[in-house]
Amino acid sequence: MDVPGSDWLLVPLQQLVSWAAAGAMVFGGVVPYIPQYRDIRRTQNAEGFSTYVCLVLLVANILRILFWFGRHFESPLLWQSIVMIVTMLLMLKLCTEVRVSNELNVKRRFFADFDPHHFWHWSSFADYLQCVLAFAGVAGYVTYLSIDSALFVETLGFLAVLTEAMLGVPQLYRNHRHRSTEGMSIKMVLMWTSGDTFKTAYFLLNGAPLQFSVCGLLQVLVDLAILAQAYAFARRPSKPSPHTVHPTSAKAL
């Protein structure tokens, strides 16, 4: 027998779960960077974190925001991109300040030099900010001109999520090339795997655009492949490494 008025409990509970999932979606992606930010600030050493991670995530999330103008998707996914952009800018600012403070008698390099040999290796956070704003301006203008093209909009969305999905590939290649995962944080990989799995499930359950779901699955597969490398290489006897190993994040480039 149905219990009359049972919806008074189920509806608020469902709403609470929905809010919790949306909050995890918005802020979950930045959680792995919090201890990394604190470690860099405490040690004043940024060698273990590649700023190319920031570059990839900035490009991916700027493209995702532009994709939203052509095809509206879930609001939490839009806010996730905004929060991630702010986080990556903060990471860039800290890493640049630490690196410059540790450099002695090094020639200052600027974005305005337009020197491809020193791209993303500038001496001031302002130069990185100029580059990001220039990219956003050009990409935004092209999107404005092509917003009525369904092919362009869908391609834009695919590029946005594919860029983010490929973030772990350089680490996968590095491990394969060196036949070792030494210096890689397993905890970081586990955090990324759990986060990417949750994110992909969120895409599938909330009917996100197909590009999001496909690239989310690809991202999970890359994470699992990195974990498989860690397991396989850990079972092999250690050999003297011919290369210098530096601590790296799971998504380091």
Band of pLDDT at residue 130, cut at 50, 70 and 90: very high
Q: Is 98 domain-assigned? A: yes
**Of 140 and 187, the one with more pLDDT:** 140
Q: Is 246 domain-assigned? A: no
Q: Is 208 domain-assigned? A: yes
What 3 state SS string does the chain have? CCCCCCHHHHHHHHHHHHHHHHHHHHHHHHCCHHHHHHHHHHHCCCCCCCHHHHHHHHHHHHHHHHHHHHCCCCHHHHHHHHHHHHHHHHHHHHHHHHHHHHCCCCCCCCHHHCCHHHCCCCCCHHHHHHHHHHHHHHHHHHHHHHCCCHHHHHHHHHHHHHHHHHHHHHHHHHHHHHCCCCCECHHHHHHHHHHHHHHHHHHHHCCCCHHHHHHHHHHHHHHHHHHHHHHHHHCCCCCCCCCCCCCECCCCC
Q: Is 6 domain-assigned? A: no
**Of 167 and 99, the one with more pLDDT:** 99
Q: Is 199 domain-assigned? A: yes
pTM: 0.77
Render pLDDT for 197-219 as a digit per residue (tens, 0 to 9): 888 888 888 777 787 888 888 88
Q: Is 188 domain-assigned? A: yes
Domain count, the chain: 1
Does residue 36 register a pLDDT over 90?
Answer: no
**Of 85 and 230, the one with more pLDDT:** 85
Q: Is 245 domain-assigned? A: no
Q: Is 1 domain-assigned? A: no
What is the residue range of 219's domain? 16-234
